[in-house]
Amino acid sequence: MAPVLSVQNLTVSMKGDNSLVPVLENLSFDVAQGKTMALVGESGCGKSMTALAIMRLLPENFIIISGSITLDGEDVLAAAPAKLRGLRGNKMSMIFQEPMTALNPLYTVGDQIGEVLRQHRKLSRRDATEQAVNFLKAVQIPAAERRVHAYPHQLSGGMRQRVMIAMALACRPKLLIADEPTTALDVTVQAQIFDLLSQLQDETETAIVLITHDLGAVAELADDVAVLYAGRCIEQGASREIISHARHPYTRGLMACVPHLQLGPVASNTHGELAEIPGMVPPLGARGSDCAFLPRCAFAGEVCRSHPQPPLDRVDASAAVSCWRHQEIAP
């Protein structure tokens, strides 16, 4: 079966003063129906830019240099504005990180969910509001009949994010892009939102692109994962495989530096030093052709300094990694 979303060799650059600064380089991935693809990395690695490129919502001075994005058989990059309007909200939709700024404070949530239906399904205002109530129920908002007339400021953060999800799923899109959907929320609410997303995915068979820096969320929700570093994909594969056998030093570093909660009677060495990745992501424009992680890498050797960044090397059926020394340094 053809994948719902196919991104091939996507390269995005920012227009500098008199040159092009690469933002994303040669990114490729597929998402199949009902599957979840996670994009992981620190800020400044190009996760959100990937999402905006798929939605064709890139800021003005960012241009797509090469590559293709195919959504359900349609070439997104070649689509005319009218065509794009038909796709956005209908075939692909997006949940943003900050639900307060993503909702219009002057319209009730019912109006905002209904707008999608009126636009794409040509429903009347009354029918759209009726449907909106059903969607609010589907995302488990209590007293949906009353809440449909509420304004965003009258809802809590978790409820707002539920409204965003209801809005995004109103037209049963083929593809849902969730850009850090829970970062602004409390832990207990985060767990609820993740549960809700996976439950709705089971019902609607939507493909999800999940953007996150939370590897716990990846382990729980995602089928596949791509780890981005400085605009390049440095490791890609089935999430189970990557989480249990990360090969790239950056992925390993990311996993080691998160203090994981240990339950039950545990050894008292929890107060030791956390593993840390020294330094920070190189800023835009300061990225050469050699491995972008080189200055921070504890395993860097001569081969890394004398060669450009290697292409993604398929190590087995479900994992690929971009590192010269991944075989030598395997744990």
Interacting residue ranges for another protein, rule: CB under 8 A: 42-43, 142, 156-159, 186-192, 195, 213, 216, 219-220, 253-254, 257-266, 268, 270-271, 273-278, 280
**Residue 178 · residue 211 · CB < 8 Å:** yes
Considering the complex, state which of residue 9 and residue 43 has its C-beta at the smaller distance from another protein.
Answer: 43
Compute the chain's Rg from CA coordinates: 21
- Give phi and psi for 289, each to the nearest 5: -85, -15
Considering the complex, state which of residue 5 and residue 196 has its C-beta at the smaller distance from another protein.
Answer: 196
Alpha carbon distance 294, 298 (integer Å): 8
Considering the complex, state which of residue 51 and residue 87 has its C-beta at the smaller distance from another protein.
Answer: 51
In the complex, least distance from residue 90 CB atom to another protein, rounded to whole angstroms: 31
In the complex, least distance from residue 115 CB atom to another protein, rounded to whole angstroms: 25
Considering the complex, state which of residue 122 and residue 271 has its C-beta at the smaller distance from another protein.
Answer: 271
Considering the complex, state which of residue 124 and residue 270 has its C-beta at the smaller distance from another protein.
Answer: 270
Alpha carbon distance 329, 297 (integer Å): 12
Alpha carbon distance 42, 32 (integer Å): 25
Report helix, strand or coil for 326. Answer: coil
In 180-324, which residue ranges form alpha helices assigned H by DSSP? Answer: 187-204, 215-221, 239-244, 249-256, 302-306
In the complex, least distance from residue 243 CB atom to another protein, rounded to whole angstroms: 9
In the complex, least distance from residue 3 CB atom to another protein, rounded to whole angstroms: 26
**Residue 175 · residue 5 · CB < 8 Å:** yes
In the complex, least distance from residue 188 CB atom to another protein, rounded to whole angstroms: 5
